[in-house]
């Protein structure tokens, strides 16, 4: 990898004020300098500079020249960042031009023609990892920063990039290494150190220094991964209970068609909103009922798929009418999902009575609202937050939140360490305990990328955009 010089357009496709073409590798300065002509005060035509004349971490003003026609492609700012003081710890060059598909494409074309290779998704960050600038959890944090859907997710990603998760995993690893050292001493010098090995102390260290710390990280994932990954919330109910009106009210614009005619919504409509920093994708769905036409049947199939995909269901009923068989049938479909009962149209309730929801299946969290007038919408948002995050999630959300890969690895490590504890408590041979401890250490090393596997790296970096 180090023998090739890669290049990519590192800014989004389209028109804009500035676009960046980035190169990394041992020939990046040579390739870019061959296309660059620096502006000189007394020479409007500019002057070509040798790559050795370009100082590191200094911007130069000039033009990118087409070497075939000697015509200027664009006026640019040109910066060299020499190894190891760069993002990849290789020689890096950035060409800052005007941003537009034609001009960016032309500069990129000439960079490739001069000897650079097209970068793969995430290849710049991959090189930063392989060259020891960051570990694998920090590399993943770069992608999380780019993809952050809320300020809370951004704060969590920045903590991970600063090494927060690496530090916690490293602390657990150090505890396991200390235990392993004692066990290996007992195995190699059984007659000399057997009396010094205290199983109870090792069990205590496993519980306090390893198991509890892993469980805390796993709990943080379960409680707070929504802040990074977002929440899918489906609004479910029979036709004409006010699902589309609620969606429009929550996103504060008329996105879904609202009429008095039942069954207006035939497809699933998705929009994004934020509730106290929590990114939520709300899905307005077709009303569930006995459909007759083919279009209605397709809409209802999509609604049922939304139920499966959702993290939380807003089960909406009409507060101005008695519950009917369709309401009970719908509840039977969503009862095993995390849900919140939304009693709509309280503005139409005669003499102010609220619909009697005393049935056993409606004893979960519920809220009375008027989607039409906006009554109690703020309370609904608070209830959504509470059902998803809980009472204390807001305090933990800015901490370290592992991603799914970390979660799986930590779960595997937890299993190995629990086996080790069981073996210690039951007086099993040190060799058995040491094997489980060693397995736990290797799993943590894999999380940090210490002993990286090609398939894991490909999976991680394939999620990056090209140019990062």
Beta-bridge mates of residue 99: 16
Residue 77 token pair = 């700012």
CB atoms within 10 A of CB 319: 22
Residue (of 228, 246, 226) closest to 236 by Cα position = 246
pLDDT reading at 358 higher than 50? no
Residue with tokens 């977002």: 230
Query: pTM here?
Result: 0.72
H-type helices in 189-273, by residue range? 190-193, 199-206, 212-229, 243-251
CB 230 within 8 A of CB 149: yes
Contact yes or no for 337/364 (Cβ under 8 A): no
Task: Give the pLDDT confidence score for residue 259 in this predicted structure.
Answer: 46
Contact criterion met (CB below 8 Å) for 218 and 415: no
pLDDT tens, residue by residue, 378-434: 999 999 888 888 765 544 445 677 888 899 999 999 999 999 999 988 888 888 999
Q: Which residues contact 281 (CB under 8 A, 6 or more apart)?
A: 230, 231, 232, 233, 270, 271, 272
Beta bridge partners of 56: 80
Of 299-308, 314-323, 452-461, minimum mean pLDDT range: 452-461
In the structure, what pLDDT confidence band is assigned to residue 257 with cuts at 50, 70 and 90? very low
**How crowded is residue 442: how many other Cβ atoms within 10 Å of its Cβ?**
14
**Torsion (CA) 241, 245, 251, 256 in degrees, nearest 10:** 110
pLDDT 10s digits, 209-244: 999 999 999 988 877 788 888 888 888 888 888 888
Task: Specify the fold of 230-396.
Answer: Rossmann fold (3.40.50)
| Domain residue extents for the chain | 6-119, 139-226+403-461, 230-396
For residue 194, pLDDT over 70 is answered with no
Question: What's the pLDDT at 45?
Answer: 60
User: Which CATH architecture group holds 139-226+403-461?
Assistant: Up-down Bundle (1.20)
Class of domain 6-119 as given by CATH:
alpha beta
- Predicted local confidence at residue 115, as pLDDT: 94
* pLDDT per residue as tens digits for the range 323-337: 888 888 888 888 888
For 284, half-sphere exposure in the C-beta direction (CA atoms, 13 angstrom radius) is: 28
CB 84 within 8 A of CB 113: no
């Amino acid at each position: 990898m180090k023998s090739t010089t890669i290049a990519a357009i590192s800014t989004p496709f389209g028109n804009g004020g500035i676009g960046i073409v980035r190169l990394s590798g041992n020939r990046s300065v040579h390739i870019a300098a061959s296309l660059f002509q620096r502006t000189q005060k007394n020479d409007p035509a500019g002057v070509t500079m040798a790559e050795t004349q370009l100082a590191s971490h200094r911007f130069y003003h000039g033009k990118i020249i087409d070497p075939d026609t000697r015509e200027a492609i664009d006026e640019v700012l040109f910066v060299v960042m020499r190894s190891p003081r760069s993002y990849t710890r290789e020689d890096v060059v950035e060409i800052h031009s005007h941003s537009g598909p034609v001009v960016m494409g032309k500069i990129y074309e000439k960079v490739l023609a001069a000897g650079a290779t097209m970068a793969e998704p995430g290849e710049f960050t991959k090189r930063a990892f392989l060259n020891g600038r960051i570990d694998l959890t920090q590399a993943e944090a770069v992608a999380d920063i780019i993809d952050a859907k809320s300020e809370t997710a951004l704060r969590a990603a920045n903590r991970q990039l600063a090494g927060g998760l690496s530090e916690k995993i490293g602390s657990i690893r150090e505890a396991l290494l200390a235990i392993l050292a004692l066990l290996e001493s007992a195995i190699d010098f059984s007659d000399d150190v057997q009396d010094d090995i205290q199983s109870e102390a090792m069990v205590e260290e496993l519980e306090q220094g390893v198991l509890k710390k892993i469980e805390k990280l796993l709990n943080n994932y379960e409680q707070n991964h929504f802040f990074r990954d977002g929440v899918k919330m489906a609004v479910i109910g029979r036709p004409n209970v006010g699902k589309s009106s609620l969606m429009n009210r929550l996103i504060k614009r008329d996105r879904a068609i609202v009429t008095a005619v039942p069954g207006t919504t035939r497809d699933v409509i998705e929009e994004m909103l934020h509730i106290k920093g929590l990114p939520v994708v709300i899905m307005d769905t077709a009303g569930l009922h006995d459909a007759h036409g083919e279009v209605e049947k397709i809409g209802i199939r999509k609604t049922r798929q939304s139920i499966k995909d959702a993290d939380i269901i807003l089960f909406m009923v009409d507060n101005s009418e008695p519950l009917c068989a369709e309401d009970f049938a719908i509840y039977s479909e969503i009862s095993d999902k995390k849900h919140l009962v939304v009693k709509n149209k309280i503005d139409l309730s005669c003499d102010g009575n609220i619909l009697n929801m005393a049935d056993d299946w409606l004893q979960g969290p519920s809220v009375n609202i008027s989607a039409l007038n906006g009554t109690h919408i703020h309370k609904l948002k608070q209830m959504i937050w509470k059902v998803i995050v809980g009472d204390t999630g807001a305090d933990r959300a800015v901490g370290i939140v592992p991603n799914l890969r970390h979660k799986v690895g930590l779960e595997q490590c937890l299993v190995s360490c629990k086996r080790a504890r069981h073996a210690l408590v039951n007086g099993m041979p040190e060799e058995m305990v040491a094997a489980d401890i060693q397995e736990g250490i290797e799993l943590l090393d894999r999380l940090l990328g210490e002993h990286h596997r090609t398939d894991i790296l490909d999976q991680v970096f394939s999620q990056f955009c090209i140019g990062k």
